[in-house]
């Protein structure tokens, strides 16, 4: 197994084993029956912990690592991971839940059910009782006050912009008016409008009924038209298809909708890895719209949806970036790679899940990518037409060991497998003799190489966590399991000299509250400043990465208007939008700058 790193034009090859990531409290077994009830004898179990204050504190520490992603920050069953699953996580504030005895809760934590794994395999009796104590305490506590993000340099100012509803995915600006809009996972589009009293209202202007995309993850403006992209689930969520539409906003009544494409139906799966169609980017010349279709697997394994789709891995419609003329209409995309290539629709491939893409000021397209449950770094790619970026054979510069038939995955002997990772819990890590071979002649393009000083932790060949600043190793590109998204560039040159024309990215995951990323760092949920430089020998980019803001809560996207960045947070029951004012370029007499605030 090899970890491929590139620095100063030379290739540093480190031989190692690999593995690890995702949401430790969300497991995918058989669907849960309604009304999960513990056996009567569970009610006879009593919490043995005497000091409940200490137990609750210890329980909270466990909760944020193992439970928060599905059950939510305050236990309302509204975590981001839970909303991506077919099974709704428990709401601990529900009356039926509150009436359950502590012994029943302990039994359920211990034994698991459906998507929820049995924690008796990973947590001690004492730890499970600590979780019970904390869960019980949640129902007696007021919802925590919103804590603003924190600036990590004195010339950055942060202010609260707007509290919004749940499930926020994208925030974007109208290219003509600079008005702010945001979209939700379940299909709504909102415009943010300032009222006479200076308050900001969220006005829904588009709904699911207008476009028919029930998993809406992509949005991009072109003039006064809005491209929307995502998935349409069917057959009781056993099948899915991709769909893109463009909606003209000139109309004051019923939105005028043009279908760009639909895909044929293909197999959905029962896991958290069905990434779907998501990120969109408009070419600087306004001729093309780019769309990412994420993998339907974690690392190229079979996902047959309980036998409905025998031997189904990824297909011609997944793990790729597509390009469409902005005027395209009523295309039907088939699961036929040769035809998709013949029609010049596949732009780049071998990309697990580029959840966000953006052009820099020179017209280079960059994408940030979520890697698999391996302890491999998260890539940022310079996307070029016809290039293959490695998936499922290489991710984060690390070879996928499942392609080797003699691989024997076991976290007891392989420190790159996190025992809490979803892929280990459900044994998607396994010997796989039918794993496809890398096609002959395929040349894999490497990720952008991060030289630090931040977000460059990785796991070395010894199995220990390393920091690239100490070892001198460049990383491809960000800390494992960081979930980079919200990439943007200062394309108008509005920022100060040390930020001028540079890039920025958000990390969704927070190491202190993530069982996967936490093995590498307690940082995360932050904004990174990206100073990119081209290396002609490598024909690739290096990046110097610096944290400039932290303390976000489930951030999903960001947009730059002038020198102000608007960051949107997903929110279980509600989300937030924060205004991050970065230092701007000094204004000289007689020179006008681009608008530094959104129009309403």
Separation in Å, CA 226 to CA 205, 254, 315, 454, 499 = 12, 14, 28, 35, 29
Q: How far apart are CA 595 and CA 579, in angstroms?
A: 15
Quick: pLDDT tens for 217-228.
999 999 999 999
Q: Please, what is the average pLDDT of the chain?
A: 88
Quick: pLDDT tens for 36-60.
889 999 888 999 988 888 888 888 8
Q: How far apart are CA 51 and CA 535, in angstroms?
A: 59
Do residues 100 and 247 share a domain? no
Do residues 254 and 199 share a domain? yes
Asked if residue 85 belongs to a domain, the reply is yes
Residue that terminates a domain, selected from 138, 164, 185: 138
Q: Are 374 and 395 in contact (CB under 8 A)?
A: yes
pLDDT surpassing 70 at residue 210: yes
pLDDT surpassing 70 at residue 487: yes
pLDDT at residue 24, as a whole number:
46
- Tokens coding 310: 């025998």
Do residues 121 and 239 share a domain? no
Do residues 271 and 384 share a domain? yes
Domain CATH number, residue 96: 1.10.760.10
Quick: pLDDT tens for 543-575.
999 999 999 999 999 999 999 999 999 876 789
Backbone angles phi, psi at 306, to 5 degrees: 70, 25
- Tokens coding 591: 């020179």
Q: How far apart are CA 514 and CA 481, in angstroms?
A: 9
Do residues 134 and 154 share a domain? no
| 527, 354, 264, 22: CA torsion to nearest 10 | -80
Asked if residue 591 belongs to a domain, the reply is no
Is residue 9 very low, low, confident or very high in pLDDT (cuts 50, 70, 90)? Answer: very low
Do residues 300 and 447 share a domain? yes
- Tokens coding 489: 């560039």
Residue listed under structure tokens 């931040």: 454
Asked if residue 28 belongs to a domain, the reply is yes
Residue that terminates a domain, selected from 117, 138, 159: 138
Do residues 83 and 166 share a domain? no
Q: Are 428 and 385 in contact (CB under 8 A)?
A: no
Quick: pLDDT tens for 334-356.
999 999 999 999 999 999 999 99
Q: Report the SS3 class of residue 470.
A: helix
Which burial class, exposed, middle or buried, applies to 37 when counting CB atoms under 10 A from its CB (0-12, 13-18, 19+)?
exposed
Number of domains forming the structure of the chain: 2
pLDDT surpassing 60 at residue 110: yes
Do residues 265 and 158 share a domain? yes
Nearest to 522 by CA among 25, 3, 65, 20: 65
pLDDT surpassing 50 at residue 195: yes
pLDDT at residue 87, as a whole number:
63
- Tokens coding 220: 């991009």
Entry pTM: 0.86
Do residues 547 and 516 share a domain? yes
Backbone angles phi, psi at 328, to 5 degrees: -60, 150
Quick: pLDDT tens for 117-171.
788 877 899 999 999 999 998 877 766 688 999 999 999 999 999 999 988 999 9
Give the domain range for residue 303. Answer: 150-581
Residue that terminates a domain, selected from 103, 118, 138: 138
Q: Are 583 and 156 in contact (CB under 8 A)?
A: yes
Do residues 213 and 128 share a domain? no
Asked if residue 406 belongs to a domain, the reply is yes
Asked if residue 7 belongs to a domain, the reply is no
pLDDT at residue 7, as a whole number:
35
Do residues 481 and 539 share a domain? yes
Is residue 5 very low, low, confident or very high in pLDDT (cuts 50, 70, 90)? Answer: very low
Higher pLDDT, 118 or 438: 438
Do residues 290 and 412 share a domain? yes
Quick: pLDDT tens for 254-290.
789 999 999 999 999 877 678 999 999 999 999 999 9
């Amino acid at each position: 197994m090899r970890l491929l790193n590139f620095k100063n034009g030379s290739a540093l090859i480190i031989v190692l084993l690999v593995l690890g990531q995702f949401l430790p409290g969300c497991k995918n077994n058989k669907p849960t029956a309604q009304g999960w009830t513990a056996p009567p004898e569970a009610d006879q179990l009593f919490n043995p912990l005497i000091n409940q204050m200490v137990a609750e504190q210890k329980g909270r520490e466990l909760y944020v690592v193992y439970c928060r992603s599905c059950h939510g920050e305050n236990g309302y069953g509204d975590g981001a991971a839970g909303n991506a699953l077919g099974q709704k996580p428990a709401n601990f504030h529900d009356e039926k839940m509150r009436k359950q005895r502590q012994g029943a809760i302990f039994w359920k934590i211990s034994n698991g059910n459906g998507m929820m794994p049995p924690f008796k395999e990973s947590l001690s009796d004492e730890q499970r009782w600590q979780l019970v104590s904390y869960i019980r305490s949640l129902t007696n506590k007021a919802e925590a006050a919103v804590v603003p993000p924190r600036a990590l340099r004195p010339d950055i100012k942060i202010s609260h912009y707007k509290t919004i509803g749940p499930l926020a995915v994208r925030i974007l600006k109208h290219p003509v008016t600079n008005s702010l809009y945001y979209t939700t996972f379940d299909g709504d589009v909102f415009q943010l409008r300032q009222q006479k009293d200076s308050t900001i209202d969220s006005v829904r202007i588009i709904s699911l009924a207008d476009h028919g995309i029930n998993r809406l993850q992509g949005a991009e403006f072109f003039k006064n038209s809005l491209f929307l992209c995502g998935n349409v689930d069917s057959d009781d969520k056993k099948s899915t298809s991709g769909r893109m539409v463009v909606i003209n906003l000139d109309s004051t009544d019923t939105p005028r909708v043009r279908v760009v494409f639909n895909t044929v139906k293909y197999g959905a799966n029962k896991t958290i890895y069905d990434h779907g169609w998501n990120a969109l980017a408009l070419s600087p010349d306004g001729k093309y719209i780019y769309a990412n279709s994420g993998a339907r697997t974690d690392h190229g394994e079979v996902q047959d949806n309980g036998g409905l789709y025998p031997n189904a891995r990824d297909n011609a419609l997944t793990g790729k970036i597509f390009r469409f003329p902005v005027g395209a209409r009523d295309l039907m995309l088939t699961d036929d790679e040769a035809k998709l290539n013949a029609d010049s629709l596949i732009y780049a491939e071998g990309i697990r899940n580029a959840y966000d893409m953006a052009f820099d000021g020179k017209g280079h397209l960059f994408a940030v990518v979520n890697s698999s449950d391996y302890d491999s770094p998260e890539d940022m790619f310079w996307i070029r037409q016809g290039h293959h970026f490695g998936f499922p054979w290489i991710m984060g510069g690390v070879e996928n060991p499942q392609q080797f038939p003699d691989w024997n995955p076991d976290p007891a002997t392989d420190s790159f497998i996190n025992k809490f990772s979803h892929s280990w819990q459900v044994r998607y890590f396994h010997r796989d003799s039918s794993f496809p071979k890398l096609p002959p002649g395929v040349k894999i393009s490497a990720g952008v190489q991060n030289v630090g000083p931040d977000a460059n932790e990785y796991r070395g060949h010894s199995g220990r966590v390393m920091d690239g600043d100490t070892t001198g190793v460049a990383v491809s590109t960000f800390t494992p399991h960081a979930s980079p998204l919200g990439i943007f560039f200062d394309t108008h040159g509005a920022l100060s000299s040390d930020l001028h024309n540079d890039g920025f990215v958000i990390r969704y995951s927070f190491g202190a509250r993530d069982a996967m990323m936490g093995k590498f760092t307690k940082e995360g949920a932050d904004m990174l400043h990206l100073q990119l430089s081209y290396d002609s020998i490598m024909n690739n980019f290096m990046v110097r990465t610096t944290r400039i803001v932290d303390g976000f809560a489930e951030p999903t996207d960001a947009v730059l208007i002038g020198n102000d960045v608007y960051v949107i947070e997903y929110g279980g029951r509600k989300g937030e939008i924060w205004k991050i004012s970065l230092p701007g370029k000094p204004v000289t007499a007689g020179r006008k700058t681009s608008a530094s605030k959104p129009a309403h």
